[in-house]
């Protein structure tokens, strides 16, 4: 059967919705977590999401949450007013589930108020494994850059401290 979409007026195959299928499919769930949360709370939230997915399906691979700068500011209305996010902790989980479990996972992620944006896409195990390898490479590269930046910052702090000490000695000598 063929279905016409309203927006594009193109014919698209009429697939089962992702909540109706009985066979197992692979999905990737990516999500942004509020960057203002303490690191321990972020770890607990990620563990909770991962456990809920494992209860409903099979976890294939994960990407631990890491802080990143967003390409644009995301705004969300909350009870206390508008909250703007310019950074987030981004994590992801690739999992396999049937339609009913997939629907429960989507409902679960929607309930987490500390997750302000998510995406869930159907994928394959091969694509997920490739993405995990790419993520590891990117993460190692990012960690290396972060360490180099920390070393540079530490060098600057040491030089500033040495300059202060020299200045203190010069002031003492000038006073005497």
| Spatial contact of 80 and 35, defined as CB atoms under 8 Å apart | no
How does pLDDT run along the chain (176 residues), one tens digit per residue?
333 333 444 444 445 566 667 899 999 999 999 999 999 999 999 999 999 999 999 999 898 999 989 999 999 998 889 999 999 999 999 999 999 999 999 999 999 999 999 999 999 988 888 877 887 787 777 776 666 666 666 776 667 677 777 777 777 787 76
- pLDDT reported for residue 171: 78
Using the 8-state DSSP alphabet, how is residue 13 labeled? Answer: E
Q: Rounded to whole angstroms, how far apart are CA atoms 122 and 147?
A: 35
CATH architecture of 22-122: 2-Layer Sandwich (3.30)
Q: Give domain limits for the chain.
A: 22-122, 124-176
| Residue 173: both structure tokens together | 């000598």
Q: Rounded to whole angstroms, how far apart are CA atoms 10 and 4?
A: 6
- pLDDT reported for residue 157: 66
Q: Report how far apart, in Å, the C-alpha atoms of 61 and of each of 28, 29, 101, 145 are.
A: 9, 11, 17, 25
Q: At what angle do helices 99-111 and 39-56 cross, to 10 degrees?
A: 160
């Amino acid at each position: 059967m063929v279905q016409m979409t309203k927006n594009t007026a193109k014919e698209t195959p009429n697939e089962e919705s992702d909540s109706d299928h009985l066979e197992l499919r692979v999905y990737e769930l990516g999500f942004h977590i509020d960057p203002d949360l303490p690191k321990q709370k972020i770890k607990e939230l990620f563990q909770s999401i991962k456990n809920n997915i494992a209860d409903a399906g099979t976890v294939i691979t994960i990407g631990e949450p890491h802080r990143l700068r967003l390409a644009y500011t995301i705004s969300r209305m909350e009870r206390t007013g508008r909250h703007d996010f310019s950074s987030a902790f981004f994590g992801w989980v690739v999992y396999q589930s049937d339609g009913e479990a997939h629907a429960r996972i989507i409902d679960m992620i929607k309930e987490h108020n500390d997750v302000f944006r998510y995406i869930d896409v159907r994928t394959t195990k091969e694509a997920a494994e490739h993405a995990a390898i790419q993520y590891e490479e990117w993460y190692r590269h990012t960690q290396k850059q972060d360490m180099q930046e920390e070393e540079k910052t530490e060098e600057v702090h040491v030089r500033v401290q040495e300059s202060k000490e020299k200045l203190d000695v010069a002031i003492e000598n000038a006073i005497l």
